[in-house]
Structure 1
Amino acid sequence: MTSNSKGSKGLNTLSNKQLERIIAEIDQAIEWHQSWYKQLLRSLISNVPANKHDLSDNAHTFCEFGQWFNKLPTDTKKLHPHFSEMGTAHQKMHQGAKVLLSLNEAKSAIPVSLLDQFHADLDTLRDLFEAVSDEFSDVLHTRDPLTGATDRTNLLSHLRKEHERCKRHSLECAIIMIDLDHFKRVNDEHGHAAGDKVLVALVKCIQSHLREYDQLYRYGGEEFLVCLPETELGGAKSFSERLRASVEELNINIGTNTPINVTGSFGIASVSVNDDIEQAIERADHAMYQAKKSGRNRVCVT
């Protein structure tokens, strides 16, 4: 089962800890269903009495996975379309199990076609479990562990895919390079732990301004790259000016009596249909250095 791009965009709203928790819960759900399946086989093959809940019309609400799934917040279920598919597949699988168990309780022969259909439904559910767990894990493993921004591992491949999509629809996108001003001074004067808190605060600030389909990468050190799909140069400049002002207004608690403030330099490059991603990144980087040379805490456009 392939990864769904809509799903992965929604996952960007989750923190690393939230992703880790959901991955652990889905892995637990896989174990729950394996145990449930073993009990089902005991009932069908060895005539062990079936669990009365498995014979009910709403059996899918009684098993451990069903109880967990029903308690999931609506916002979490909307993060990935596979969650909706999972709920439907889970209910269908339990309905098939109920038919098998009912026939077994009545001492009636179980048609091979019903057994095959049940196993097909069970396989579908397992595929969904694994697909969601794998995709969540992929997102987690390509994130910077400190800030939660996507790391550079797949940056070029992601940007090329976005560029190809924009080319197909004759759209522009924009790239913004962001670098904190005088970050070395923060580390030297307050320590690296304080510097880490500054980076975390910066990323939270940037993420609060992003649309669902925008993407943030930690490019290196205190340098970050933002991709704004379907955005022309003017829109990217307005966005950057708003973000620059928000960064300047941050009061970052570093564990001392006095919070600290930082600023950032922003460089913007538009990526047109016939453009080259690597060259666009270089232009954004050059514009960012122009912002620094011009006095820092400002936005420059190539």
Structure 2
Amino acid sequence: MPLSAQQSSSSLMKILRELDAGLMDHTSWLKVLHRSMVSGSAPSPADLKADAHCQCRFGQWYYGQPHPDLQDGPWFRNIGEFHENMHLYARQLLVKRNAGQPVAPDEYDQFMDMAIHFKLEVRGLQSDIINRVCEVDHLTGARNRNSMHFKLLEEHDRMLRNSQPCCLCMMDIDHFKQVNDTYGHVAGDSVLHAAVHFLSKKMRRYDTIFRFGGEEFLFCLPNTEAQEAYAIVDRLRTELAALPIKLKEHSEIFITASFGLASMNPDEPVEDAIQKADHALLCAKSGGRDQVCLWDIQAGG
């Protein structure tokens, strides 16, 4: 895709089960097709139609409903292309067999290559989804801290190669302990989930939110200079403060958050940028909270 990091693990697991069912249907379909080719039994009428790839069970799942979590990724597009071509070549084989014409080895190989590639692409998508599940913080939907290290190293390497800027931002939900003490920990969990869900929709597609620990989160903002990052984060701060968060046993509450920004430096370890963003966060909290503080590289603070 790559798949969205904020996507819920339950949604991802549902997709995995649907893909498993699709592969089982694919195996059953191949068995019936080969039986028709070898024994001369009548093929399924659906396999002779021009839209056969839409008629099979996998096709009904693939084309019959939207898949917003998958459609932007290369795995999903490749699966559709291989699946359609596989049915196209299968139809050509069946038409020849019904007409009593011999099937050339190259024609059969062409069909089987598509069938094999289709299965490999589905398995590749499943592997990608499993990796995403392992990278997601299941409570909030943010990427977890284990995946943060690798992502930030990737961005650091990209800075070295392309001299593109990247900013990190530490966010801490203000007075979160009071939320837990007043409304309970279940309500606190709902607040964390709602905040991450809201922010993830408001951020750019290539930005990433990681759960750093507790009510602290780290944002990675690639291709972004410090002043631009400040404007982006300050907008997020304002919009988050205006967000009514509904709780099951209460009407709604409002929260604020403090933010600390720092630019990554290609000549310094990633950990240095995280520490600077954390220091900037402390400045935001000590300055009254509900604000954004930017680490000044020139002044060193």
The within-5 A match list for 1:61-80 is 61-73=54-66, 75-76=68-69, 78-80=71-73
CA separation in 1, counterparts of 2:274 and 2:142? 18
Q: How does 1:143-154 map to 2 (within 5 A)?
A: 143-154=136-147
Q: Tell me the residue number matched to 2:195.
A: 202
- Deviation track 1:61-98 (CA, whole Å, cap 9, x = no partner) reads 21111122212327456321222222221111112112
Determine helix, strand or coil for the equivalent of 2:249: coil
**TM-score (ref. length: structure 1):** 0.91
2:249 matched to 1:286? no
Corresponding letter in the other structure for 2:205: E
Distance in 2 separating the partners of 1:203 and 1:290: 23
What value does the CA root-mean-square deviation take over the aligned residues?
1.8
Matching of residues 94-133 of structure 1 within 5 Å? 94-133=87-126
Structure-2 residue corresponding to 1:162: 155
Alignment size in residue pairs: 295
Q: Is 1:185 equivalent to 2:172 in the alignment? A: no
| Contact 1:178/1:288 (8 A) holds in 2 | yes
Q: Structure 2: how far apart are the matches of 1:277 and 1:241?
A: 23
Q: Distance in 2 between matches of 1:103 and 1:94?
A: 14
TM-score, reference length from structure 2: 0.91
2:138 partner SS: coil
Match of residue 81, structure 1, among 55, 74, 81: 74
Of 222, 246, 250 in structure 2, the residue corresponding to residue 229 of structure 1 is: 222
Residue type of the partner of 2:196?
A: V
Give 1:18's aligned residue: 11
Per the alignment, residue 299 of structure 2 pairs with: none
Q: Which moved more, 1:77-86 or 1:265-274?
A: 77-86
Report the secondary structure of 2:272's partner residue: helix
Tell me which residue corresponds to 1:172.
165
Query: Which of 81, 84, 87 matches 1:91?
Result: 84
What amino acid is aligned across from residue 17 of structure 2 in structure 1? A
Contact 2:265 2:273 in 1 (8 A): no
- Does the C-alpha gap of structure 1 residues 23 and 258 become closer, same or farther in structure 2, counting only changes over 3 Å? same
Give identity over the alignment, percent: 37
Show structure 1 runs of 5+ residues with no match.
1-6
CA distance in 2, matches of 1:34, 1:166: 46
3-state SS of paired residue (1:253)? strand
Q: Distance in 2 between matches of 1:56 and 1:203?
A: 47
Is the contact between residue 86 and residue 129 of structure 1 (CA under 8 Å) also seen in structure 2?
A: yes
Q: Which amino acid aligns with 2:73?
A: H
Pick from 207, 211, 233 the counterpart of residue 204 of structure 2. Answer: 211
| Cα drift, residue 283 of structure 1 | 0.9
